[in-house]
């Protein structure tokens, strides 16, 4: 049985970045990664990675502050209330940002090179993987035994 208050990423991946909480894409995955780090079960997943920092930049929150709140044992609902109480972003901002994040892909040549390198290792024949969310979902699936 999954323990979502202390996820074990040696057994299963975090939630997809597409899953929303309070309209925020990636927030459930970010919370999973924070909880797994605190439990010492984050495997290859990194809290406060570049994609996480998009959330922190958007909300104006710090990774350390969010981690401290998670450490106190707050639920997803409690964390959403905390995020909303500590950001100046309204629901229309969150909706627009979430749409942008869902379609966000690699930027310049360095981003494209890294993206292509990762995709080549996982599924070189796939031509439909164009966004970071696509790549994360594919990598999570493949990393936990999914057939590509």
pLDDT tens for the chain, 148 residues long, are 566 678 889 999 999 999 999 999 999 999 999 999 999 999 999 999 999 999 999 999 999 999 999 999 999 999 999 999 999 999 999 999 999 999 999 988 998 999 999 999 999 999 999 999 999 999 999 999 998 8
Enter the pTM of the model. Answer: 0.93
DSSP string, the chain: ---TTS--TTTSPPPPTT-EETTEESHHHHHHHHHHHHHT--TT--TT-HHHHHHHHHHT--HHHHHHHHHTT--HHHHHHHHHHT----HHHHHHHHHHHHH----SHHHHHHHHHHHHHH-TT-----SHHHHHHHHHHHHTT---
Please report, for the chain, the start and end positions of each structural domain, with discontinuous segments joined by +: 1-104, 105-148
């Amino acid at each position: 049985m999954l323990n979502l208050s202390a996820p074990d990423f040696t057994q299963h991946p975090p939630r997809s970045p597409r899953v929303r909480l309070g309209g925020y894409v990636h927030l459930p995955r970010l919370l999973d990664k924070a909880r797994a780090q605190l439990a010492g079960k984050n495997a290859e997943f990194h809290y406060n990675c570049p994609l996480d920092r998009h959330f922190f930049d958007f909300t104006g929150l710090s990774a350390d502050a969010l981690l401290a709140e998670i450490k106190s044992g707050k639920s997803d609902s409690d964390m959403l209330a905390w995020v909303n109480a500590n950001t100046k972003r309204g629901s229309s901002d969150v909706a627009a940002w979430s749409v942008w994040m869902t379609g966000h892909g690699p930027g310049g040549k360095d981003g494209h090179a890294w993206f292509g390198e990762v995709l080549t290792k996982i599924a070189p024949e796939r031509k439909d993987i164009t966004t970071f969310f696509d790549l994360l979902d594919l990598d999570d699936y493949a990393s936990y035994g999914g057939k590509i």
